[in-house]
Structure 1
Amino acid sequence: MKPRLSLILSVVVSAVPLMSARGSDSWPQFRGPAGDGVAVDQSPPVAFGEDDHVAWKTTLPGKAWSSPVISDGVVWVTTAVERVPSEEEREALLRNTNNDARKFKQLAIAKAIELKLLAVDLKSGQHRQTIDLVTVETPDAIHATNSYASPTPFIDGEHVICHFGTFGTFCVDRRSGEVLWQRTLPLEHGVGPGSSPVVHKGRLILIQDGMDRQYVTALDASTGQTLWTTDRPPMEAPTGDQKKAYCTPVVVTDSTGREQLLCMGSQWMVSYNAETGEEFWRLYHGKGFSVVPRPVLLDDVVYFATGFGKPELWAARIDGSGDVSSTHVLWSVKKGIPSKSSPLLHDGLIYLVDDNGVASCFDPESGDLVWKKRLGGKFSSSPLFAGGHLYFGNHEGEVFVLTPGEDSEVVQTNQVQGQIMASPAAIENALILRTDLALYRFE
């Protein structure tokens, strides 16, 4: 079923000042300034909790797993306020979808959703704006562990780009709250949206890997007009379920000066020309699908997880052309790899935590295991490095703080109320943490 959209005018509560969204004084995208979870020159607290080092705690409406983005003293978050059906209504709504009845227990569905962009004051935690973007009647079903607002927004200069997959993409003026443009790019996500947007040199890059179609597209960030669209490589899969993916792109310049757009997907890691959409190279990684983790890079090597099925961690050189599947793979690891949380690379080591709470450290040159530690709980949030420590947050509201390095140890376990699905931010020597209930500033 295709959702029915009705645009709602913006409601501006107060003005937001404008400056640049670059540098260590901002957190403009999923996983921070460089998109890798590393916070430069930040020293957030190691120990914190509901009554410890909390500057403020602000309740947020709706349900969303999107991470906070920050600039000019304002924290921006998206959310989806659901009109929740009764159990009988839920069954009827699901029967009207293309989903197999045997999978109904794994799915959630709303009668309608109100998609919003919220602005929270970084210093005080007070709500500064509520911008109503769109109401979607009879939206598609999503996985029960997903939300209707999982992609993280992107701060592009004076604008905030909000992406909700098939439910709409919006460009919002940070000062006035005006919606400057919106696009709807229909896609059958299968279990809901997940891939976050990236803006590079005026181009809004969207990975559109659905069950019905898989492609990457670039929109003009100032107008929303399509600049280019490139289909993904052919896949061998019995159904579209094993072709879908939810990864966020990465832009990198290799040692030859070639600027690459790396778009991980099911079965293939692909490099594109961000200006034209032309493919530089492709690498077949196997049958992995529903890929979520965002890749990380060191010099001319990309490190990426292969998604659901049997998650693996791969290392490959990015200096090739054409099909590099048999020539540019350096190593792969087949155990203890997450299907949701992204890896973190810092000071010559790769850190990650799998879905079931086992943290690992690998040597990026060889792929050898350096250490493994059981933290406990379920994990979707990606780790953060800040102030000389690693931060890992789980579904149970625990945040484990570890020292980095070969002799790493857990130095603190913190507890907050609610579920942690969003990835944290570090700014002004504070930790900005979102749960399913609230937004926190710890300092």
Structure 2
Amino acid sequence: MIRSKLFPSTSLLTLLFVAVGPSVAAYSQSTTDWPSFRGPGGRGVADGGEVPTQWNADSEDGPNEGVLWEAEVPGLGHSSPVIVGERIFLLTAVPDEGETELNIAAGGNIDAAEDGGSYSWIILCYDKSTGEELWRKTAHHGEPKATRHSKATHANSSVCVDGDRVVACFGSEGLHCYDLDGTLIWERDLGVIDVSKYGIGWGYASSPAIHGGRVAVIGDDPDHPFVTVLQLSDGEEVWRSDRSEVCERSWGSPLIFEADGVTQMVVNGFPWIVSYDFETGEELWRLEGGGDNPIPTPFIANGWIYITNAHGGKAPIYVVRPETRGTVLIDSDEESEEESDDEPNPLVWSVERGGSYMSTPVVSGDYLYLGNSNGVVRCFHAITGEKMFEKRLGKEAGVIASLLSVDGNVVCASENGTVYVLKSGPEYESLAENPMGEPCFATPAVAGGVLFIRTTKRLVAIGKTE
């Protein structure tokens, strides 16, 4: 059951929820740019580009089909491609000696990786049309200040770009701002951010987000969790909020959006999911969390906020009205349920089980799709919450990368080196199983009718070759 305790400052106007959700500022869907993690608005949606649904990028499996170009990527990173104009940006971490080991298809292994020696944390820039490397800049060099999970890397987050500013966050190795040609503008030391569980550092993964000339960064180290907003122009801090009373750890990225004249920043977390006023840092609402390893990033669809997380026996999905204010408690005790005309339900719908652990879901058409590390894909009706299907993709098809909706189809990049393409609809229908040749942990990107996929070794451009 759901209980909402409204802050005293909540006005009657704020309580006037509508069945179809509020008016939310629309996100433009450029066919040429993909300026941040999961593209415009962080929604993971690309339409109108006619991206191929079938290809073969595994050279050992026969001739490459549908591959426009491919480029080797040094080191190791789960950073997703970000595309602005004719440039593609990636992050990576390169050891001074040897190669970084990655645990593939390891199931529930909780261990930190046993890394030794120094690394270079690098921003890479490629030509979008040819794959030629245009420049690389080393943002930091030294021994890692925090450990990583054996399935993670020291470069998990993605850059975000606004105008001529490229912002990269390496967690303990700092926040760095460059121009499009690789000239350093400013950098900030965020201190050690050791996002850990069971006393083991699992690594940093939150990508920064830009809105209105400001940069938002999450640093949910269990010992001193925080969120901060800085000026994009010079990196000076605008505000910072201590999250020690609301969050034990998180790995997701911030959602920033405007609704009814207020710019909100929603941050996944445990035990609380929190929305902040982006201008001031004031807390607007909080939702009692679910899974105790909050990794997926919240996103907007249908004018509502979609949030999921998992682990610790819980895997909820919450669809929240942006007008919500105050504290929203999820309570299974029927006696605690409070119903009144002046306190409508802040949740459009929710389910206790069915959410995803690491992969951020996507809404494609009328349906919400979620991928899981055990290879299972689930589908719910995005408006009503009705479960449509649950299907296992294939052997060792762990879905770590976030899902995309591309031209109405759902793209699922998998740990087993296959990219699955599903037809959007209420029933499971596989359109293609596309071999990549290496595991895929990074979320793909789409720009100009081309799908850009980062494997553990390469950056590959998929498009029409005729």
TM-score by length of 2: 0.81
Paired residues of 2:164 and 2:180 also in contact (CA < 8 A): yes
Paired position in structure 1 for 2:86 = 73
1:225 to 236, 248, 253: 236
Paired residues of 1:419 and 1:436 also in contact (CA < 8 A): yes
The one-letter code matched in structure 1 to 2:69 is: W
CA distance in 1, matches of 2:361, 2:144: 36
CA distance in 2, matches of 1:63, 1:262: 29
Paired position in structure 2 for 1:318 = 322
Paired position in structure 2 for 1:122 = 128
2:374 to 349, 356, 361: 356
Paired position in structure 1 for 2:342 = none
CA distance in 2, matches of 1:283, 1:420: 32
1:380 to 385, 397, 400: 400
In the alignment, structure 1 residue 168 sits paired with structure 2 residue 174? yes
Q: CA deviation at 1:301?
A: 2.5
Higher deviation after alignment, 105-114 or 46-55: 105-114
1:131 to 121, 137, 144: 137
Paired position in structure 2 for 1:188 = 194
Paired position in structure 2 for 1:409 = 429
CA distance in 1, matches of 2:230, 2:269: 20
In the alignment, structure 1 residue 27 sits paired with structure 2 residue 47? no
The one-letter code matched in structure 1 to 2:319 is: A
CA distance in 1, matches of 2:389, 2:354: 11
TM-score by length of 1: 0.86
Alignment of 1:4-23 (within 5 A): 23=30
In the alignment, structure 1 residue 269 sits paired with structure 2 residue 273? yes
Paired residues of 2:147 and 2:194 also in contact (CA < 8 A): no
> Superposition RMSD on alpha carbons, in Å?
2.1
CA-to-aligned-CA distance 1:237-293 (integer Å, 9 cap, x gap): xxxxx8111111111222x3322111111211111111111111111124x323111
Paired position in structure 1 for 2:447 = 427
Call closer, same or farther: CA 1:29–1:138 in 2, change over 3 Å: closer
Higher deviation after alignment, 344-353 or 290-299: 290-299
The one-letter code matched in structure 1 to 2:355 is: I
Paired residues of 1:215 and 1:230 also in contact (CA < 8 A): yes
Paired residues of 2:350 and 2:385 also in contact (CA < 8 A): yes
CA-to-aligned-CA distance 1:110-131 (integer Å, 9 cap, x gap): 3111011111111111111111
Paired position in structure 2 for 1:292 = 295
State the secondary structure of the residue aligned to 1:325: strand
Paired position in structure 2 for 1:347 = 365
The one-letter code matched in structure 1 to 2:301 is: L
Q: CA deviation at 1:203?
A: 0.9
Paired position in structure 1 for 2:74 = 61
State the secondary structure of the residue aligned to 1:34: helix
Paired position in structure 2 for 1:212 = 223
CA distance in 2, matches of 1:335, 1:268: 18
Paired residues of 2:90 and 2:125 also in contact (CA < 8 A): yes
Paired residues of 1:24 and 1:33 also in contact (CA < 8 A): no
Unaligned runs of 5+ in 1: 1-20, 88-102, 236-241
Paired residues of 2:146 and 2:172 also in contact (CA < 8 A): no
CA-to-aligned-CA distance 1:413-440 (integer Å, 9 cap, x gap): 0101111010001112111000011000
Paired position in structure 2 for 1:14 = none
Paired residues of 2:304 and 2:319 also in contact (CA < 8 A): yes
CA distance in 2, matches of 1:329, 1:104: 33
CA distance in 1, matches of 2:232, 2:172: 18
The one-letter code matched in structure 2 to 1:414 is: N
Higher relative contact order (CA 8 A, sep 6+): 2
Q: CA deviation at 1:329?
A: 3.2
1:39 to 35, 38, 46: 46
Paired residues of 1:296 and 1:345 also in contact (CA < 8 A): no
Paired residues of 1:336 and 1:354 also in contact (CA < 8 A): no
CA distance in 2, matches of 1:149, 1:136: 14
CA distance in 1, matches of 2:444, 2:138: 24
In the alignment, structure 1 residue 257 sits paired with structure 2 residue 261? yes
CA distance in 2, matches of 1:52, 1:222: 43
CA distance in 1, matches of 2:92, 2:237: 26
Aligned residues: 399
State the secondary structure of the residue aligned to 1:107: coil
The one-letter code matched in structure 2 to 1:68 is: P
CA distance in 1, matches of 2:439, 2:188: 31
Runs of 4+ aligned structure 1 residues displaced above 4 Å come to: 84-87
Determine what percentage of the aligned residue pairs are the same residue: 30
State the secondary structure of the residue aligned to 1:269: strand
Paired residues of 2:77 and 2:456 also in contact (CA < 8 A): yes
Paired residues of 1:250 and 1:295 also in contact (CA < 8 A): yes
Paired residues of 1:336 and 1:358 also in contact (CA < 8 A): no
2:350 to 307, 332, 338: 332
Paired residues of 2:43 and 2:301 also in contact (CA < 8 A): no
State the secondary structure of the residue aligned to 1:108: coil
CA distance in 2, matches of 1:33, 1:267: 29
Paired residues of 1:396 and 1:419 also in contact (CA < 8 A): yes
Call closer, same or farther: CA 1:332–1:233 in 2, change over 3 Å: farther
The one-letter code matched in structure 2 to 1:393 is: A
Call closer, same or farther: CA 1:62–1:319 in 2, change over 3 Å: same
Paired residues of 2:363 and 2:405 also in contact (CA < 8 A): no
Paired residues of 2:75 and 2:99 also in contact (CA < 8 A): no
Paired residues of 1:111 and 1:139 also in contact (CA < 8 A): no
CA distance in 2, matches of 1:399, 1:86: 25
Higher deviation after alignment, 188-197 or 297-306: 297-306
Paired position in structure 1 for 2:339 = none
Alignment of 1:77-92 (within 5 A): 77-83=90-96
1:399 to 407, 419, 438: 419
CA distance in 2, matches of 1:23, 1:55: 21
